[in-house]
């Protein structure tokens, strides 16, 4: 009994100390919790307020002088507006540059201004915007090149057949008008590296579309084409067993396919792609087979033309084209204007 009393007192003392500790913790818990919330709030503030170097670079305005052309607009032509996302699958953007062949940066300080020439009516590449200013893929690409070179640029719209004469008479410095690079044109002007290609493709009614087209597949088939074009020459040389029907223009050619007068039509894949995806086609037709890019008939690609011997401007544009592609701006432009890939 004598030993039990001290033991009981000792247990009571321990219990009281433990209870006092619990009460102390309970008393300061709200303060600790409040301090923790305050610390979290303060630590989260910089993450919201700060901007990464990449974000800053993208948000910064261009330092070059503004190009006097209309802001980028969606391509549009009366009666042939492309359907917005008409079930088109995400497309891969074709690449025209080799990352292992980076052009050297020329002395850009020697370029004071670039006067671009382009065509008046070839949507979506060149057309007059709603505000009367030049617009289109070529115009927006010219704008990007000028921003990259950091030089003032102007752009003048002319009829296509007058562009070469305007360049040779010094009414402009460069032609950006979907001009195909051919041996005949190389004799008159110099070209940059190609910035896109203009393949040819077959189109048929949807219920007759083929995944692949070979000459033997079209034996005895009626194939429409525009008279006097490289597309007609290609068919005559390569598809000798097909029954060719020549038409004077695009409207007559496409109407023949819609009416079933021909089984296929053959022509420029870019313009055909917009027709397929536009209201004028009546959702009748689709590409058959893949692209044809034979350079003897369809050119080496589409380049920017400069006067013979103007190596500085040609090299500057090549350097800027590569940079615009490398930064992803070319991809953005391509996807904005080409809802249906010509490839």
Q: What is the mean pLDDT of residues 128-147?
A: 95
Q: Which of 69-78, 158-167, 200-209, 210-219 has the lowest mean pLDDT?
A: 69-78
Note the helical H segments in 206-342.
230-238, 250-258, 269-276, 295-298, 311-326, 329-337
Q: What's the pLDDT tens digit per position in 157-181?
A: 999 999 999 999 999 999 999 998 9
**Tens-place pLDDT, residues 110-124:** 999 999 999 998 888
CATH topology of domain 200-298: D-Maltodextrin-Binding Protein; domain 2 (3.40.190)
What are the percentages of helix, strand and coil residues in the chain, rounded to 5? 45, 20, 35
Integer Cα distance of 191 and 151 in angstroms:
20
Q: Does the model's pTM come out above 0.85?
A: no
Band of residue 95 on the pLDDT scale cut at 50, 70, 90 = confident
Q: Does domain 65-75+92-198+299-337 have CATH number 3.40.190.10?
A: yes
Q: Once rounded to an integer, what is the mean pLDDT over residues 126-148? A: 95
Residue 221 has pLDDT above 50, yes or no: yes
Q: Is the pLDDT of residue 7 over 60?
A: no
pLDDT tens digits, residue range 237-256?
999 999 999 999 999 999 99
């Amino acid at each position: 009994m004598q030993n039990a009393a001290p033991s009981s007192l000792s247990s009571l003392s321990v219990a009281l100390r433990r209870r006092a500790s619990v009460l102390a913790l309970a008393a300061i818990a709200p303060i600790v919790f409040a301090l923790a919330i305050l610390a979290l709030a303060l630590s989260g503030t910089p993450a919201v307020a700060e901007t990464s170097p990449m974000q800053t670079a993208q948000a910064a305005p261009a330092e070059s002088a503004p190009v006097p052309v209309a802001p980028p607009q969606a391509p549009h032509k009366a009666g042939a507006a492309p359907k917005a996302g008409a079930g088109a699958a995400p497309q891969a953007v074709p690449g025209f540059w080799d990352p292992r062949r980076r052009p050297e940066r020329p002395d850009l300080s020697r370029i004071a201004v670039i006067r671009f020439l382009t065509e008046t009516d070839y949507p979506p590449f060149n057309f007059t915007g709603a505000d009367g200013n030049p617009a289109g893929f070529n115009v927006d690409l010219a704008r990007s090149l000028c921003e990259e070179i950091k030089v003032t640029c102007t752009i003048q719209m002319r009829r296509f057949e007058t562009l070469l004469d305007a360049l040779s008479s010094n009414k402009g410095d460069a032609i950006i008008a979907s001009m195909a690079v051919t041996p005949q044109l190389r004799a008159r002007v110099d070209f940059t590296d190609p910035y896109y290609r203009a393949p040819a493709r077959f189109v048929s009614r949807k219920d007759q579309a083929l995944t692949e087209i070979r000459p033997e597949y079209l034996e005895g088939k009626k194939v429409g084409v525009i008279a006097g074009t490289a597309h007609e020459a290609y068919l005559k040389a390569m598809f000798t067993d097909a029954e060719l029907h020549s038409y004077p223009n695009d409207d007559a050619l496409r109407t023949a396919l819609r009416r079933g007068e021909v089984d296929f039509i053959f022509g420029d894949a870019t313009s055909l792609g917009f027709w397929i995806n536009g209201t004028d086609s009546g959702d009748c037709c689709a590409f058959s087979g893949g692209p044809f890019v034979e350079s003897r008939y369809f050119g080496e690609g589409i380049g920017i033309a400069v006067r013979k011997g103007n190596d500085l401007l040609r090299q500057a544009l090549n350097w800027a084209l590569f940079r615009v592609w490398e930064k992803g701006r070319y991809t953005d432009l391509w996807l904005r204007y080409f809802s249906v890939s010509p490839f």
